[in-house]
Structure 1
Amino acid sequence: MLALAFLLATPLAGGLVLALVGHRDNARDVNVAFSLGTFISACALTAQIVESGPMLVWDREFYIDALNVFLVALTAFVGLTTAIFSRPYMRVERDHGKMTPPRMRLYHSMYQLFSFTMLLALTTNNMGIIWVAMEAATLTTVLLVSVYRTAASLEAAWKYFILCGVGIAQALFGTVLLYMAAEKVIGPEGGALLWTNLDAVKGQLDPNIITLAFAFLFIGYGTKVGLVPVHNWLPDAHAEGPTPVSAVLSGLLLNVALYAILRCKVLTDGALGSPLAGRLMMGFGLLSVVAAVFFLIRQKDVKRMFAYSSIEHMGMMTFAFGMGGPIANYAGLLHMTVHSLIKSAIFFAVGHAAQKAGTQVMENIRGLIKVSPTVAWGLMLGSLAILGMPPFGVFASEFLIVTTAMREQPWATPFLLIALGLAFASVFSRVQPMVFGETNVKPLAHPPALVPVFVHLALGLMLGLYIPPYLNAWYVQAAAMLGN
């Protein structure tokens, strides 16, 4: 319980402290210190759950189990490495005049509060609090996306706010319907929105109400996942916000939204006794994979291109979880992990490359290998990893997803293979000249923070070659919890 208290209190306190001192030169170090404290708390909580099993605390309002504890650790880890990356990155942005002291204070404080909202959504047992946390995450990221105060960033933030606001309203209505179904079974005073209570009585819930509730919850949280056709906010938010924000959006927020859908799917499967929820997830997941690839081909902005790549990969995860079963769920969880690590590493490298070139347009970023070999190799290896080249972990997870689809959903296999092939050809053909072409780019005034890039890539490589026993045990347990 103490580890959980520190896990939630540290980023919350960090947001309050940085709201006061976030404009100072040492605020970057304070931001890293609070993120480190959050990560240490996450590690302590993970060790406690691995040793003692699931935990219900604080009047059953918080529940930690195999499904969410390693997502908590992943969220805290990527939050820490992104904070380390942002130290020199935001310093360069300040030197270029993009960040003023008030904007730096807003950035640092909202970064910590964003971490708090994601960890709250992951650890709470209350479906209503999950909704509140997701809404708070929307508000904090709207401020982060608009922090440059340019016309394009304000437009992107406004689009993000409107689309995700509409989506989260759908999720609220779905939560109300879920409560309506549960109250008839549990009673008004029995914690009708506590997930553990709902899971215990899911077979008694009214299937008609639950069907309608899942439809609204899936649309609402699916907007935050970035599923097609409610994905329009995501490319703009990635392209116009600071690169650290792009990293945590792709690497963390999308995972948390998908986690909320998975909690709802478990209840829906138990209430209906039919694969309706899974089929809905498979359909929208496959649509997202295919549509994102064709959008990706047309992009000229490097961050928008990798934003559409995030939509593609979230579609892959949604499709895998929709298929269900131990192998597909295992593959979805593995893909969730490696995508967070690799995609955030790519955005780190892309951020430094764009700062060197002074633009995000790919045609104007050339020859990084001659200017900064470490940035160049980080971008190239990250791109190969996210495109599913062996022996990186993305290859292992995509191989499991595709082979499971061949056996259980053969009709979908050609769409997956064609989409993956087109994505590989499109992204690699754009990244290759960025790394190896002719250049007139000048070195940066401050050395980039490249340790997070290669730490993430090393972890992604390790998960393709060897999955540690404790992590494998988590995947197996969490896959079993998600059911068929």
Structure 2
Amino acid sequence: MVLLWIILIPLMGAVILGALGQRNAGFSGNIAVSAATFFAACLMTVQVLDGGSFTAWHHELFVDTLNVFLVDLTAFVALTTSVFSKTYMQAEVRLGHLNAARLGLYHAMYQVFIFAMLLALLCNNIGVLWIAMEAATLSTALLISLYRTPAGLKAAWKYFILCGVGLALALLGTIMVYFAAHSVLGPHKALLWTRLYSVRGRLDPAIMMVAFVFLIVGYGTKVGLVPLHTWLPGAHAEGPTPISAVLSGLLLNVALYAIVRFKALASGGPMADWPGQLMIGFGLVSVLVGAFSLGGQRDLKRLFAYSSIEHMGLATFAFGLGGPLATFAALLHMTAHSLTKSSVFFTNGQVAQTAGTKDMDRITGIVDRNPALGWTLMASSLAIVGTPPFGIFASEFLILIAAAREAPWSVPLLLIALGVAFAAIFRRTQAMVFGAADGARIPTPSSLLAPFVHLVLVVVLGLAIPHILAAWYTGAARLVGP
């Protein structure tokens, strides 16, 4: 029953918040709904710790070692983002950047977005997964265009069109998987993850091979894999900062989760290595393109959007390598990236809001104008480029070790890409933080708590991964490994 509540709470919350409209109570309501969702996710975690994986609602919902931590992560980041968005979005209205009448739409679509992602993670039906990803696309398209600026509308339409085409390809791949499993499992059971995995060695390898091509291209569009990434920089740069945080920190994870699930199915036949090789190719190209695109950016949010392409490419590459170590490292990287990147967007959104511009050439001396904001931005930036002791350093180090074992030819390319990304982001960030102050003192934002909490958690991941989380990663690696 708790799985059903994890999905129903944000859905019902969306209806209530939509009815509240632009009232200030909408902010508190958004936080309350997100807190209730997180509480339900915590109850689910207790049940998993007590009894392991389980299904619910006539086997239409399920939780196992692969999705349990992603559900917790999604609910947690949704909660911290709702807390952050209260003061941030109120300031946007006060500064005239946002029409107050659109706050009702913002709160309602925010909860629809969270509902869609949680449904995608918890559903046991590959058809429902596709529907949930489509719902996430529609709700975020409305959120990206919330400011109704020409650039925002263009970014929303580009996102909608490209992801719509991608999801159409994913639907074709889903239908092909159903076709391959229909003769083995029957009409309804051929849609269930739990049933499909038990017969993956009996699925037609030729059909599964073609299906996986459509699936990685389709869902890879949502991940932001090159060359399907062109929607991502604009969507992150033009939408409200809280939406940039959940887009990069959560939605990309959910789309990659879908690819990993299908990779586990496609790897069960005689051509077990082929899906992994395809993911290695897409992932490595994304890492290189994302890293080398960072240097020419002037927009603060666009800079870190390209960083998301790099990091999701790295996680895709690691999943493609397969094996316990690489898969463990990829899952750790997904977790650390979600927490870190949302912290980065929280902080740079505050910087852009207080400075009145996203142009990094016009932002300087932040640490002198406000030490708390300046040091938080610097710490978030160091975390996202993989500086120890943050969690991304640990995950990247493990991925490099796995690559040295499984694909040593890729290690120089990865090291070059990581070095370029570090240099590009550090050069820009240190100039903004430590450059000569050329403006008035910036008041301390009241919403620095969320990025601080995220950074503390990322440090914990870098120093000592909690035993429970490590056990889930290990179990998930066995589940999706070759």
- 1:357–1:442: 8 Å Cα contact kept in structure 2? no
Q: Which amino acid aligns with 1:67?
A: L
CA shift at 1:443, angstroms?
Answer: 5.1
What is the TM-score of this pair, normalised by structure 2? Answer: 0.98
Q: In terms of mean alpha carbon deviation, does 402-411 or 72-81 score higher? A: 402-411
- 2:350–2:445: 8 Å Cα contact kept in structure 1? no
Match of 2:362 in 1: 364
- 2:369–2:442: 8 Å Cα contact kept in structure 1? no
Match of 1:92 in 2: 91
Instruction: Tell me the distance in 1 between the aligned counterparts of 2:297 and 2:407.
Output: 31
Per the alignment, in what secondary structure is the counterpart of residue 56 of structure 1?
strand
Instruction: Tell me the distance in 2 between the aligned counterparts of 1:447 and 1:341.
Output: 20
Match of 1:69 in 2: 68
- 2:370–2:444: 8 Å Cα contact kept in structure 1? no
Structure 2 gap ranges (5+): none
Instruction: Tell me the distance in 2 between the aligned counterparts of 1:385 and 1:7.
Output: 30
- 1:356–1:443: 8 Å Cα contact kept in structure 2? no
Q: Which amino acid aligns with 2:197?
A: D
- 2:343–2:455: 8 Å Cα contact kept in structure 1? yes
Q: Which amino acid aligns with 2:310?
A: E
Structure 1 gap ranges (5+): none
Match of 2:123 in 1: 124
Per the alignment, in what secondary structure is the counterpart of residue 267 of structure 2?
helix
CA shift at 1:60, angstroms?
Answer: 1.0
- 2:299–2:358: 8 Å Cα contact kept in structure 1? yes
- 2:14–2:111: 8 Å Cα contact kept in structure 1? yes
**Counterpart among 386, 389, 400 of residue 387 in structure 2:** 389
Match of 1:320 in 2: 318
Instruction: Tell me the distance in 1 between the aligned counterparts of 2:46 and 2:318.
Output: 28
Deviations 1:225-269 (A, max 9, x none): 000000000000000000000000010000000000011000000
1:401 aligns with 2:399: yes
Match of 2:48 in 1: 49
Q: Which amino acid aligns with 2:60?
A: E
1:153 aligns with 2:149: no
Q: Which amino acid aligns with 2:200?
A: K
Q: Which amino acid aligns with 2:54?
A: M
Instruction: Tell me the distance in 2 between the aligned counterparts of 1:300 and 1:272.
Output: 48
- 1:88–1:446: 8 Å Cα contact kept in structure 2? no
Change beyond 3 A, Cα 1:272–1:127: farther
Instruction: Tell me the distance in 2 between the aligned counterparts of 1:86 and 1:218.
Output: 33
Change beyond 3 A, Cα 1:241–1:442: farther
Match of 2:252 in 1: 254
Superposition CA RMSD, Å: 1.1
Instruction: Tell me the distance in 2 between the aligned counterparts of 1:175 and 1:372.
Output: 51
Per the alignment, in what secondary structure is the counterpart of residue 297 of structure 2?
coil
- 1:355–1:444: 8 Å Cα contact kept in structure 2? no
Matches within 5 A, 1:451-462: 451-462=449-460
- 1:346–1:382: 8 Å Cα contact kept in structure 2? yes
- 1:352–1:448: 8 Å Cα contact kept in structure 2? no
Instruction: Tell me the distance in 2 between the aligned counterparts of 1:221 and 1:423.
Output: 25
CA shift at 1:22, angstroms?
Answer: 3.3
Instruction: Tell me the distance in 2 between the aligned counterparts of 1:290 and 1:93.
Output: 35
What is the TM-score of this pair, normalised by structure 1? Answer: 0.98
Deviations 1:321-365 (A, max 9, x none): 000000000000000000000000000000100011101110111
Instruction: Tell me the distance in 1 between the aligned counterparts of 2:422 and 2:97.
Output: 34
Deviations 1:259-286 (A, max 9, x none): 0001100000013442000000000000
Instruction: Tell me the distance in 1 between the aligned counterparts of 2:439 and 2:26.
Output: 30
**Counterpart among 424, 428, 431 of residue 422 in structure 2:** 424
Match of 1:235 in 2: 233
Matches within 5 A, 1:92-111: 92-111=91-110
1:174 aligns with 2:153: no
CA shift at 1:24, angstroms?
Answer: 0.6
CA shift at 1:439, angstroms?
Answer: 2.6
Matches within 5 A, 1:177-256: 177-188=176-187, 190-256=188-254
Change beyond 3 A, Cα 1:52–1:454: same
Residue-pair matches, total = 482
Q: Which amino acid aligns with 1:42?
A: A
Instruction: Tell me the distance in 1 between the aligned counterparts of 2:368 and 2:325.
Output: 43
Per the alignment, in what secondary structure is the counterpart of residue 270 of structure 1?
coil
